[in-house]
Amino acid sequence: MSVDTATVAKIASLARIKVTEGELEAMVPELNGILNWVEQLGEVDTSNVEPMTAVIPNTLRLREDVVDADPLTGGGKREEVLANAPVAEHGFFGVPKVIE
C-alpha cells in the first residue's frame, strides 16, 4: 500500500494538521518510505497469535467511588484548570464560535 497526495491530505485533515501543498509533496515519499518499510511485518505468520494487550502481565485496578479523595485527581480546582488557558472568561474556556 502506498499513499498519494490526496491520502496524505486526508490524513492530515483527520489529524487536524494544516499542511501546505509543498509540505504535502514532500511528505508523500517520506511516508511511503516508512510505510513500505513497516509493511515487512506482513510476512510474519500471526494466525495463532493474540495481539499484545498488557506488556507486563497485569490487570486493571479499579478505584473506589469517592469524590476528591486525592486532590491530584479530584475536581474543585477551576483556577488551576484555567491557569494556562489561551482564552478564559467567566470560568469558561473560550473558543471560536461553533455553529452546530
Partner 1 sequence: MSTYRIQGATGEWEVVIGLEVHAQVSSQAKLFSGAATEFGAEPNTQVALIDAAMPGMLPVPNKECIRQAVRTGMAINAQINKYSRFDRKNYFYADLPQGYQISQLYHPIVGEGELVIEADEKAGIPEDKVIGIERIHVEQDAGKLMHDQHPTMSYVDLNRVGVALMEIVSRPDMTSPAEAGAYLSKLRTILRYVGSCDGNMDQGSMRADVNVSVRKPGEELGTRTETKNVNSVRFVMQAIEHEAMRQVDVLEAGGKIVQETRLFDPNTGSTRSMRSKEDAHDYRYFPDPDLLPLILEDDFLEDCRNSLPELPDAKKARYETELGLSAYNAQVLTADVDTARWFERLLAETAKASGKAPAEVSKQAANWLISELFGALNKLGTSLEESPVTPEKGGDLLALIAKGTISGSAAKQVLEIMLDTGDEAEAIVEREGLKQESDTGAIEAEIDKVLAANADKVEQYKGGKVALFGFFVGQTMKAMKGKGNPQVVNEILKAKLG
Partner 2 sequence: MTDLTELGVAQIRDGVKAGDFTAVEVAEAFNANVAAAQEALNAFIVATPEKALEAAQATDAKRAKGEDLGKMGGVPIGMKDLFATFDVQTTAASHILEGFKPQYESTVSQNLWNAGAGMLGKLNLDQFAMGSSNETSYFGNVISPWRKQGSNAQLAPGGSSGGSSAAVAARLAPAATGTDTGGSIRQPAAFTGTTGIKPTYGRCSRWGVVAFASSLDQAGPMAKDTRDCAIMLEAMAGFDPKDATSLDLPVPNWEELLSADLSGKTVGIPREYRMDGMDAEIVALWDQGVAWLKDAGAKVIDISLPHTKYALPTYYIIAPAEASSNLARYDGVRYGLRDLPEGANLQDMYAATRAAGFGEEVKRRILIGTYVLSAGFYDAYYTQAQKVRTLISQDFQKAFEECDVILAPTTPTPAFALGENVDDPLSMYLNDVFSVPASLAGLPAMSVPAGLSKDGLPLGLQIIGKSFDEQGVLNAGLALEARAQFTAKPEKWW
Residue entry with cell 491530505: 9
The answer to whether 85 and 93 are in contact (CB under 8 A) is yes
Contact status: 35 vs partner 1 (CB under 8 A)? no
Q: Which does 100 bind (CB under 5 to 8 A by kind): partner 1, partner 2, none?
A: partner 1
Tell me which residues in 10-49 interact with partner 2 (CB under 8 A): 11-19, 27, 30-31, 33-35, 37-42, 44, 46, 49
Residues 27 and 8: beta-carbon distance below 8 Å: yes
Report CA-CA distances (Å) from 86 to 7, 37, 75, 90, 95: 32, 40, 21, 14, 9
Q: Which residues are near partner 2 by CB under 8 A? A: 1, 3, 7-8, 11-19, 27, 30-31, 33-35, 37-42, 44, 46, 49-56, 58, 60-61, 63, 70, 72-73, 77, 80-81, 83-87, 93, 95-99
